[in-house]
Amino acid sequence: MPDRFYITTPIYYVNDIPHIGHAYTTVAADIAARFHRMAGADVFFLTGTDEHGQKVLQAAELRGVSPKDHTDIMCTNFKKLWTALDITNDAFIRTTDKDHIDTVREMLQRLYNCGEIVKRTYEGSYCTHDERFWTDKEVIDGNCPDCSRPVETIKEDNYFFLMSKYQDRLIEHINKNSGFIRPETRKNEVLGFLRSNPLGDLCISRPKKRLSWGIPLPFDESYVTYVWFDALLNYYSATGYLAKEHKQTYWWPADCHIVGKDIVTTHAVYWPAMLMALKLPMPEMIFAHGWWTIDGKKMSKSVGNVVDPLAVTKTYGVDAFRYFLMREVTFGLDGDYSETALIKRFDTELANDLGNLVNRSFAMLSKYFNGIVPETTEFDIELKELAEGISERLKEHLKLLSFNKALDAVWELVSFLNKYIDSNKPWALAKDTNTAQKLAVVMYSLVEGIRFISVYLYPFMPKFGERLYSHIIGEPLSSERNIHEKLKWGTLKAGTVVTTIEQLFPKIENERKEKVVEEKSTTTVVEEKTDELISIDDFAKVKLKVGKILSAEPVPKSNKLIKLSVDTGELRQVVAGIGKHYTAEELVGKTVIVVANLKPAKLMGVESHGMVLAASEGDSLKLVTPDGELPAGSVVK
């Protein structure tokens, strides 16, 4: 891993209201930045806004304010969103910053002086909306190939950057540096484009009489700079005035430009050609990710399907949103965004797999060791190797921005620990003094494993990682330097007090159901009508699961209700009216069958999420249990 890591997002058009697409790129860059910081690298993470051009001027005029005042207001939409999404950008560049403008002018002058920029008369098709010329081949039926608006034929003098002469060098650079453009499909696309078309020169000026809102050319003040030429230079100019403590040469070249696939040509052709002309080193990698759609359609204000990231995070939390974006789709491919998919991942992966692992582990530590991490000299070698090995795997995956592979690796540990509980059955070990040492190993391993998970997931879900790590260790994770050194099995000290923790990801479906729960203090007696048969579909509505009773205690002031904590693949509280037939003590460790989709109810003021099945005859009552061992959560069919 480099000791110094410079990562960027595109600078977003200041007129846009940020949506999940913008959030996606920025969250991805944030994860990479956090990961490198944790690994001890010196990180510079840059984002910002692109503030010049016709559209900004028009929007400002419409509001009756100056373009600068307009951009001052509009760029705060992005700044606020980044704060809300826990983005740790080190700097926010605006192309209206004086230092950026000075750098652009200096670079233009340099290129002009060495003959890389020349003046020519140009006649061509121009799209005012996109502020760019198109070749005759590109124009479709007199319309712009990008926005489909009619193009105008314009003849005027303009300045051109002699980009065409870099065509061969660009192809050579891309071929020699296999990781320069990622993913592979985008690299091939760019190579295909460069090999099959003669690369034109780039018109980098706009006459002021047509467009006044831009950076004036230093060698001809009657022109302003083409907005892309100005924008791309932000990556370099920022290193000169926004990255503190070091010289520009320390930060340049960038390690990683993350962009969407829409702007791959500007980044993988224009920008490297500009750098070649400026005799500046090439960035290490340009990664063009895929596109989020809604029901297969492009997000757009006019269609009204734009998803507001702030609204999503208010409902589901920042961590869940960040997790979903990175988990749902392979970085590089397109994906369709839906709330249903988000809820599904939240409930199964965050609430069930992860949240319950943490909850039941800490609850058992509290029950069997008063919340004190026990002393142990033994450990499970497979678990140790898995936990420690993820560190290297994350490095490899994050180098290539394979976020979902990284999450897969962490989830191997989550699943391992869940199975570890089921196979070691701490509740059974706790019953026998001969297995006290084994119980200590199991409980130590669970807490230690969870500590690893808190660190590994921190870049993805910073609030979760921070909260969990400091809950275990008592120190904030973000203040730890070189945290990877602490990813050695056994670093957790015996004697550490780890109290129980409230549900980290309360199930969304449950929360919705709970809203309609009514207080019930009476028992409903259903009269059996033997002649009323139900269909198989009716029966299928009842979800029965195998559950393991982790703890039990009598409900105060009741002689028959017992409050159970049951593992049914998720941790749930069930109140059972079996107190006359079983003591709380003898219930712990039993395997039972639970009705898992019963509406929650309150019995003597205690919430119950499900029902334990029992058979009775006269005064006798026995719990129904499977004929043999099955893991908690197994479905009864």
Interaction site with ligand ME8 (CB under 6 A):
10-13, 16, 21-22, 24-25, 50, 231-232, 234, 259-260, 262-263, 291-292, 299
Smaller CB separation from ligand ME8, 20 or 546: 20
Residue 81: CB minimum distance to ligand ME8, A: 12
Helix (H, G, I), strand (E, B) or coil at 5: strand
Smaller CB separation from ligand ME8, 33 or 453: 33
Instruction: Say how many CA atoms lie within 13 Å of 346 toward its Cβ.
Output: 26
CA 346 → CA 328, 349, 506, 597, distances in Å?
Answer: 11, 6, 9, 18
Residue 295: CB minimum distance to ligand ME8, A: 13
Give the contacts of 54 (CB within 8 A, at least 6 positions apart): 128, 129, 131, 211, 213
Residue 14: CB minimum distance to ligand ME8, A: 8
Residue 291: CB minimum distance to ligand ME8, A: 4
Residue 77: CB minimum distance to ligand ME8, A: 11
Residue 26: CB minimum distance to ligand ME8, A: 8
Residue 288: CB minimum distance to ligand ME8, A: 8
Residue 235: CB minimum distance to ligand ME8, A: 7
- In this structure, what DSSP letter does residue 103 have? H
Q: Do residues 472 and 454 make contact, with C-beta atoms less than 8 angstroms apart?
A: yes
Q: Do residues 305 and 294 make contact, with C-beta atoms less than 8 angstroms apart?
A: yes
Residue 431: CB minimum distance to ligand ME8, A: 54
Smaller CB separation from ligand ME8, 16 or 308: 16
Torsion of CA 408, 411, 412, 415, to 10 degrees: -150
CA gap 623, 100 in Å, rounded: 74
CA 105 from centre of chain:
37
Question: Tokens standing for 445?
Answer: 């391993």
CA gap 116, 102 in Å, rounded: 19
Smaller CB separation from ligand ME8, 27 or 592: 27
Instruction: Say how many CA atoms lie within 13 Å of 123 toward its Cβ.
Output: 1
Closest CA to 51 of 29, 32, 36, 73: 73
Smaller CB separation from ligand ME8, 24 or 166: 24
Smaller CB separation from ligand ME8, 230 or 448: 230
Q: Do residues 435 and 372 make contact, with C-beta atoms less than 8 angstroms apart?
A: no
Nearest residue relative to ligand ME8 (C-beta): 21
Question: Tokens standing for 595?
Answer: 């009705």
Helix (H, G, I), strand (E, B) or coil at 252: coil
The DSSP-derived string for 547-576 is EEEEEEEEPTT-SS-EEEEEESSSEEEEEE
Residue 12: CB minimum distance to ligand ME8, A: 4
Phi-psi map region of 181: left, alpha, beta (phi>0 left; psi -120 to 50 alpha): beta
Give the contacts of 133 (CB within 8 A, at least 6 positions apart): 122, 124, 125, 126, 127, 154, 203
Smaller CB separation from ligand ME8, 219 or 291: 291
Smaller CB separation from ligand ME8, 278 or 595: 278
Smaller CB separation from ligand ME8, 13 or 219: 13
Residue 35: CB minimum distance to ligand ME8, A: 19
Smaller CB separation from ligand ME8, 259 or 398: 259
Smaller CB separation from ligand ME8, 241 or 379: 241
Query: 382-393 burial, b if ≥16 CB within 10 A, otherwise e?
Result: ebbebbeebbeb
